[in-house]
Structure 1
């Protein structure tokens, strides 16, 4: 199937980047407030996908996202939901803890979403492209070819490089892996702003986004962590239908397991994020 690419032209002013809202309404509310404080218009707020996920308010989260008017590509979760698939498509290893947990949160999300929200997901493109600070940027979920590919800071540049060629881009903005990082090679930049729906396995309940800005010296960016009403998010998840382990992670900032992580990232669990 051909990929759908939405070209949103040349952006001016600050650009807010984020991913993995994961049905976390409280985090999305705080992010929207932050954007307004920074004077960033909705069209300059871009999500790398997975608006729906592990938390307790999928319908409310999608509806707020629509009301806000921010931009987003489809994550693997949106693709699976709009197609009525039986699993989240996260490419978890069969029988793993993540796979087991997905058999709880994914059916929960399916049961809560309205037809209006599902119709909204069908409008989301596979990629977004734009020009900024003289560079061409492409937003992908996992990678340009595989929506469910996990790419991390420690992933070899040789794995990242073909994405720039395939998308004819100078900047790749990606999501899916759940951790904020950037990797620069000469004039090419791989930027993952992180996710706002779950902590980054760093031992704090804070979540992550990034802001890009155009200066006289070109493109600059900053990774930003922020607090939100995570106690409420965790409490709402303790409904007997969602994994208790994920509700605990919202508070502790520690993932239940590191089975999707390469050795480098796994070894950094609880030590904070260095970006």
Structure 2
């Protein structure tokens, strides 16, 4: 897939940001209802990628996403599917537990998608840029330089800063790492809304998203948690032979392992997230 940047201009009104749907139709349906209740137009609902992932309904999730008419960039999973690759491209360590699980869920997802869904996936831009509250915002998946790069709150600013310089942005909105956070430095903001397809390793089955607003000509944001029918998502995963460990995470909110996490984030496992 060629690098594609889509500029959607200046946005007005509330903006809903989310990531990692991971084929979790129940969470996506619940989030669309939030958008409706908040009077947020679909074109102001923007995903950081990985619409497809660990859960049981990849085709249904894509079709719902299309019908909702929300926006998304391509995550590493969409890029890999578009290229008919044999793995998810998540940058898991070879032979790790996450790598082993991906050899179950990725072929399952690949086998369920229709040509129509694959065409939709292939049409997604790699980045989205927009202006909001006099700030230039750029949506990336992992980072601007590497779709599969894991960037966390504890990641040094020396690594983050090049993303702002490369995109000439004031705000980077990113996904991929699975944890919601924000990090500010010299009027720059790195904002990760979290993912809705899996809990955030905090011991709670709820998932996370962000709402942007413009107040007094300034950009404001609020991290929000989302409850949904996680019991159904869990049972569908088990019924379709997907990894039991990921299905359990849907219920417990605890990750099976912390292989991808830095030490600082690893220590927070099971602790409630507060903003």
TM range (shorter): over 0.9
Match runs of 1:34-53 below 5 Å: 34-53=34-53
Distance, in Å, in 1 between the alignment partners of 2:42 and 2:110 is 27
CA distance in 2, matches of 1:2, 1:197: 27
Deviations 1:200-220 (A, max 9, x none): 000000000000000115000
Deviating beyond 3 angstroms after TM superposition, the runs of 4 or more aligned structure 1 residues are none
Aligned to 1:190: 190
Please tell me whether the aligned partners of residues 193 and 208 of structure 2 are also in contact (alpha carbons under 8 angstroms).
yes
- Please list, as runs of the form range in 1=range in 2, the aligned pairs for 1:3-152 lying within 5 A after superposition: 3-152=3-152
Counterpart for residue 158 of structure 2: 158
Equivalent pairs, count: 275
Structure 1 residue 101 displacement after superposition: 0.1
User: Is residue 133–residue 217 contact of structure 2 (8 Å, CA) maintained in 1?
Assistant: no
- Structure 1 residue 3, shift from structure 2 partner: 1.9
Which residue does 1:229 correspond to in 2?
Answer: 229
Q: Is the 8 A contact 1:108 1:241 kept in 2?
A: no
Structure 1 residues 217-274: Cα deviation after superposition (integer angstroms, max 9, x where no partner): 5000000011100000000000252100000000000000000000000010001113
Answer yes or no: is the 8 Å Cα contact 2:137–2:173 preserved in 1: yes
In structure 2, the partner of 1:257 is: 257
Contact 1:203 1:270 in 2 (8 A): yes
Moved more, 132-141 or 213-222: 213-222
Contact 2:73 2:125 in 1 (8 A): yes
**Once the 2 structures are TM-superposed, how far is the Cα of residue 161 of structure 1 from its aligned partner?**
0.4
